[in-house]
Amino acid sequence: MKNRLKLKPLIWRLSLVFLTATLLSAQAALAQEEKQFNFSVALNSDQFFGFYPTFQGSYGFSDKTALTFYGIHWGGGTGANWGNWTEFGLGANFQAGEGLSINPQIGFLGGNLLSSGTGGPAVFGDGIVPNLTVNLLKEKVEGQLYFGYYAPLRDEAPANGTTLSYIHYWFNIGYRASQFFSFGAHFEHLINSGGSNVETSTDVYQWLGPYVQFSKPTGGPFARFSFGTDLVEGNDSFFKLTTGFSF
């Protein structure tokens, strides 16, 4: 009996050590999970697409690869006239070097912009968007290249109507004056590249101008304002405002 009584404090100590180790392991695993998962949301506005919230996220499988996903609520602005146009996609991100990442993705659309030129019903499978984003983030330099091809998946165009397809790309490069403030140049081009009754491609806009960005140094909220000229004949200027939060 005495030996059993003596063993009890030892058992309690071992149990306490095991419980503490378990809690620390769980906390470390949770911290690792949080480190692997990233998510950001943004509110955007420009004079062509109108107001459109976006989100993007990733889950890292290693230091160099991650699953990515994104969504664009085009229907929040001009897209409300495009059958509540919505885009959702998946892809993978690859670290190609210090501060350089490459993110191919493929998106799917709901609405009626591509499938009928806004002339038909809003449908799921309005179009497909293979796209590529290349990000550069170094101590003093930042930049981004995006290219996407918007192609119709269905033909719901009424008589004398048309499907539509678009090429959309942009490029910006900037100088990070500090972790709080950066500035640079932005070029963006949207092309109506064709459709079932579209014989030649046309430029919708070609925006060129400076941008300024403000970011919380430790991460989180950010705001960017871009503005300048539209190089397409008959157009005037452009303005784009983005604000968001990275988790």
Query: For the segment 145-190, what is each residue's pLDDT rounded down to a tens digit?
Result: 999 999 999 999 999 999 999 999 999 999 999 999 999 999 999 9
Instruction: Quote the CA–CA distance of 129 and 108 in Å, as a whole number.
Output: 6
Count CB neighbours of 26 within 10 A. Answer: 10
pLDDT of residue 62: 87
From residue 56, alpha-carbon distances to 39, 130, 135, 198 in Å are 6, 16, 14, 33
Long-range Cβ pairs for the range 126-132 (8 Å, 24+): 126/83, 126/85, 126/152, 126/153, 126/154, 127/151, 127/152, 127/153, 127/165, 128/153, 129/87, 129/89, 130/104, 130/105, 130/106, 131/89, 131/104, 131/105, 131/106, 131/107, 132/102, 132/103, 132/104, 132/105
pLDDT of residue 13: 64
- With tokens 């993978």, the residue in question is 92
Here the tokens at position 163 are 């499907």
pLDDT of residue 194: 95
Q: What is the pLDDT along the chain (247 residues), one digit of tens a residue?
A: 444 445 446 545 655 665 565 555 545 444 555 568 999 999 999 999 999 999 999 999 888 999 999 999 999 888 989 999 999 999 999 999 899 999 999 999 999 999 999 999 999 999 999 999 999 999 999 999 999 999 999 999 999 999 999 999 999 999 999 999 999 999 999 999 999 999 999 999 999 999 999 999 998 999 999 999 999 999 999 999 999 999 8
pLDDT of residue 178: 96
pLDDT of residue 9: 62
pLDDT of residue 131: 97
Give the contacts of 197 (CB within 8 A, at least 6 positions apart). 157, 160, 161, 162, 163
pLDDT of residue 63: 87
Global pTM value: 0.85
Instruction: Quote the CA–CA distance of 20 and 38 in Å, as a whole number.
Output: 29
Here the tokens at position 58 are 């990733």
CA 62 to chain centre: 20
Instruction: Quote the CA–CA distance of 145 and 134 in Å, as a whole number.
Output: 5
**Topology of the domain comprising 2-246:** Porin (2.40.160)
pLDDT of residue 65: 94
DSSP state of 160: T
pLDDT of residue 2: 46
Number of H helices, E strands in the chain: 2, 12
